[in-house]
A and B are shown apart, each in its own frame.
Chain A
Amino acid sequence: MNFAALTGRTFAIPALILLLILLADFADAQAVINEVTPDSASQITPAAPLFRFDRFNALAIMVIFSIVILIYTRWARAGRNLFIRKINGLDEVEEAVGRATEMGKPVLFIPGLQELDEIETIAGISILGRVARVTARYGTPLMVPVRYPMVLAAGQEVVEQAYIEAGNPDAYNKDIVRYVAGEQFAFTATVNGIMMRERPATNIYMGAFFAESLLLAETGNAAGSIQIAGTAQPAQLPFFVAACDYTLMGEELYAASAYLSREPLLLGGLKGQDWMKLLLIVLIVIGIVLISFGLGNWYVSLFTSV
C-alpha cells in the first residue's frame, strides 16, 4: 500500500465524516438562533461565534506549517536529494553496539521517563526500533527498562518487530523490555542497580529525562559504559553533556528517526521543519526592526496567543 493510496482512502473518509458532523453542528447552532422569538429576543444575550476568530493566528501558522511539511514530504517521495547534517551521537550508535558485542556485554536502552503520549517518548521508541535492529543483527543482549505500562507495550512491539526484520526472531525475549517501577527514583535506583550488576558496555538514553539524568549518567560512567544521550529537556542537557560521550540536543532527538532510517518521507518532514524555523527567524528579525523603530505594536498583536 503506497502513501498516496493510504492518504487517499484512509483519511478521506474519516475527514469527510468529521466535516459533515461539523457542518451539521453549525447548522444546528444556526437553527437555535433562528428559533429566537421576538418575546425572548430581549432576554437572550448574543451567542458566541462558533469559530474562535481570536485564534486565527494559530490556525494560519498551523496551516502554513502543515503545507510546508507536506510539500517537502512529497518532494522526498519524488526522489529529490535532501541534505541532512552529520549528528555525531547517532553515527556512533552502531559503533557503540559493536563495542558491546566485542566485550560480550549487553546494551542498555532507556526511552525516557514519560508516558507514551509524550512526543519525546515516541521519538525514543522510534530510535529503540533502530537500535534493536542492530543488536538483533549482532546478537548483542539488549535491556530496556521502562517506567510506564503503555511504553512497555509499545517497546515490546517495536523490539519484536525489529528482531523479526533483522532475521533473528529466536533471539527475541519478551523480558528484553521490562516494566521496572512507576516512581521516578524507584526506577532510577533499579536501573542504577542493573548498571552496577550487569555492567552494560553501552548505555543509550533517548527521551525525556528529569532529575535522574545525572544519577543515571554518572552511574553509567562508574560502570565503564560508553554513553549516548538525547533529550529535549533543556534543564537536563548540561548534565548529559558533562557525563555522556555523545549528546543529542533538543530537536536532534526528533530528527534521529529520520537520520537513522534515511527514509525519504521522514527526511522530507525534517527539512520542512527546518524551513519553518527559517520562517520564524525572518519573522523575529522583522519584529526586532519594527519594534526598534517604534512601529511594532500592530505586529506584536498578530502573534498574541489566546
Chain B
Amino acid sequence: MILAYGLLIIAGIVLLYLAFKTGDRRYIYLAVAFYVIFPVLITLNLPAEISPEVRQLYEAVDSLPDSSVVLLTFDYYPSTLAETEPMSRAALHHLFRKNCRIFTMTTIPLGGPSIAERVTRELAGQYGKVYGVDYVNLGYKANYVAVLKGMGSSIESIYPADNTGTSLDKLPIMKDIRNYGDVDFIFAVSDNSIIDYWMSIVNAQYGIKIGTGVTAVMAPRYYAYLSSGQMTGMLGGMKGAADYEKLVGKPALAAKGMAAQSLVHLFIILSVIAGNLIFFIEKRSRRREGHR
C-alpha cells in the first residue's frame, strides 16, 4: 500500500509538471480524479482526533433524556449529499438508539422531502421504529421564515398533515406536542444560510438548544455562534460527519470519504507549493534578465 501511495504522489508531481509545461489544466483535473478514485479501490484507514465542536454536539444529544422530542432538519440539496447525508444518518443512529421521538422537516422543496423520507425509513427499519409513533416526516412548506416563526405558536398550524397527507392529530407521536416549547433539541443539517434563521428566530426567541451540521465551506462562519453559546456543537463538512460517525460507533460514508479528502487536500497543498516555486523561479529569472 505504501508503494501504491508513493507511486500516486509521483504521478501527481508528474501531472503538475505537465500542467505547467503545456498550460493545460486538464492534467490537474486528471490528478484530482486519481486521488479521488484510488482510495475507493484501496481502502486507507486513518486515525483521527475528534474535533471539540463535534464532541460538544455528541454530548449534548447524548445527555438528552430518553424519549426526548428532537426536530431533525434536512435543509440541504442533493448536490451536497456527500457531506450532509452522513451527518443525518449518524444523527438518526444516535437519536433512534436513545428512543427519541423524531420530527423531520425541510425548507428545501427540491428533493428535501424525498431525502428525508428515504433516509429515515431506511434507518428506522434497522431499529424497529414505527412511523407515526417514533418518528414523522413533516415534509416541506414554502416561506421558511413563516414556517420557523409559525412553529413557535403551533406546529399543526404550519403542518396540518405530514408528508404523506395524514392529518397530524391522528398520529400518536403528536400527543402532547404543540410547539417549540415541547421540543427538547433541534438538529439542523443544512447546506445554506437557513442556519442563520434557525439561530436568530428559533434559538434567540425561544431559547431551544440547536446543534448543526453544515458543509465545510460554511463551517468557519458559524464559529461565532459556537463561541457565544448560541449553537450547541457543529459538524463541519465531511470531517465533522466522520468524527460524529466515529463517536456514534457507526463509521460509514464519511469515514470512507476522508481518505479521498486527505489525498486531494495534500495534492492541493502540493499544487500551491509547486505554483509558488514556479512563480519565484520565474520572478528571479525576470530580475536577472532585467539586470542584463
Point out residues on A near B: beta carbons under 8 Å.
Answer: 183-185, 210-211, 222, 233-236, 305-306
Known: A184-B77, A184-B79, A185-B79. A211 touches B217 (CB 8 A): yes
| A234: B residues at CB distance < 8 A | 220-221
- In the assembled complex, B124 has its CB within 8 A of some CB on chain A: no
| A210: B residues at CB distance < 8 A | 192
Interface residues of B in 178-195 (CB under 8 A from A): 191-193
B217 touches A235 (CB 8 A): yes
| B43: A residues at CB distance < 8 A | none
| Of A184, A210, A222, A306, most B-chain CB atoms within 10 Å | A210
| A233: B residues at CB distance < 8 A | 193
Q: How far is the CA of A115 from the CA of B84 in the complex (A)?
A: 24
| B278: A residues at CB distance < 8 A | none
B77 touches A305 (CB 8 A): no
- In the assembled complex, B286 has its CB within 8 A of some CB on chain A: no
B192 touches A306 (CB 8 A): no
A183 touches B110 (CB 8 A): yes
* B111, chain A: closest CB distance, angstroms: 10
Interface string of B201-242 (1 = CB under 8 A from A): 000110000000001011011000000000000000000000
A235 touches B204 (CB 8 A): no
CB closest residue in chain A, given B111: A183
- 9 chain-A/chain-B pairs, Cβ below 8 angstroms: A210-B192, A211-B191, A211-B217, A233-B193, A234-B221, A235-B217, A235-B218, A236-B217, A306-B204
Q: How far is the CA of A155 from the CA of B61 in the complex (A)?
A: 47
| A306: B residues at CB distance < 8 A | 204-205
Q: How far is the CA of A280 from the CA of B204 in the complex (A)?
A: 20
CB closest residue in chain A, given B25: A222
* B40, chain A: closest CB distance, angstroms: 23
| B25: A residues at CB distance < 8 A | 222
| Of A184, A234, A235, A306, most B-chain CB atoms within 10 Å | A235
Known: A210-B192, A222-B25, A305-B204. A235 touches B79 (CB 8 A): no
Q: How large is the interface on B (under 10, 10 to 19, 20 to 34, 35 or more residues)?
A: 10 to 19
Q: How far is the CA of A306 from the CA of B200 in the complex (A)?
A: 9
| B80: A residues at CB distance < 8 A | 211
Interface string of B75-89 (1 = CB under 8 A from A): 001011000000000
Q: How far is the CA of A210 from the CA of B110 in the complex (A)?
A: 17
| B215: A residues at CB distance < 8 A | 211
* B194, chain A: closest CB distance, angstroms: 12
| B220: A residues at CB distance < 8 A | 234-235
CB < 8 Å neighbour of A211 from B79, B193, B200, B205: B79
Q: How far is the CA of A305 from the CA of B207 in the complex (A)?
A: 11
| A305: B residues at CB distance < 8 A | 200, 204
* B271, chain A: closest CB distance, angstroms: 12
CB closest residue in chain B, given A235: B217
CB closest residue in chain B, given A239: B217
CB closest residue in chain A, given B207: A306
Q: How far is the CA of A3 from the CA of B204 in the complex (A)?
A: 38
* A63, chain B: closest CB distance, angstroms: 20
* A236, chain B: closest CB distance, angstroms: 8
B110 touches A235 (CB 8 A): no
| Of B25, B79, B110, most A-chain CB atoms within 10 Å | B79
| A185: B residues at CB distance < 8 A | 79
CB closest residue in chain A, given B219: A235
Q: How far is the CA of A76 from the CA of B235 in the complex (A)?
A: 48
CB closest residue in chain A, given B217: A235
| A236: B residues at CB distance < 8 A | 217
Given contacts A211-B79, A211-B80, A235-B221, 12 further A-B contacts (CB under 8 A): A184-B77, A184-B79, A185-B79, A210-B192, A211-B191, A211-B217, A234-B220, A235-B217, A235-B218, A236-B217, A305-B200, A306-B205
| B191: A residues at CB distance < 8 A | 211
* B207, chain A: closest CB distance, angstroms: 9
| B110: A residues at CB distance < 8 A | 183
* A48, chain B: closest CB distance, angstroms: 13
Interface string of B49-89 (1 = CB under 8 A from A): 00000000000000000000000000001011000000000
Interface string of B112-123 (1 = CB under 8 A from A): 000000000000
Q: How far is the CA of A177 from the CA of B218 in the complex (A)?
A: 31
| B218: A residues at CB distance < 8 A | 235
| Of A183, A211, A306, most B-chain CB atoms within 10 Å | A211
* B57, chain A: closest CB distance, angstroms: 20
Q: How far is the CA of A222 from the CA of B24 in the complex (A)?
A: 10
CB closest residue in chain A, given B80: A211
* B81, chain A: closest CB distance, angstroms: 13
Q: How far is the CA of A184 from the CA of B108 in the complex (A)?
A: 12
| B79: A residues at CB distance < 8 A | 184-185, 211
CB closest residue in chain B, given A185: B79
CB closest residue in chain A, given B192: A210
Identify the 4 closest CB pairs spanning chains A and B, nearest first.
Answer: A235-B217, A305-B204, A235-B218, A234-B221
Q: How far is the CA of A184 from the CA of B192 in the complex (A)?
A: 12
Q: How far is the CA of A162 from the CA of B59 in the complex (A)?
A: 58
CB closest residue in chain B, given A222: B25
| B217: A residues at CB distance < 8 A | 211, 235-236
* A190, chain B: closest CB distance, angstroms: 15
* A252, chain B: closest CB distance, angstroms: 18
Q: How far is the CA of A306 from the CA of B191 in the complex (A)?
A: 26
| B221: A residues at CB distance < 8 A | 234-235
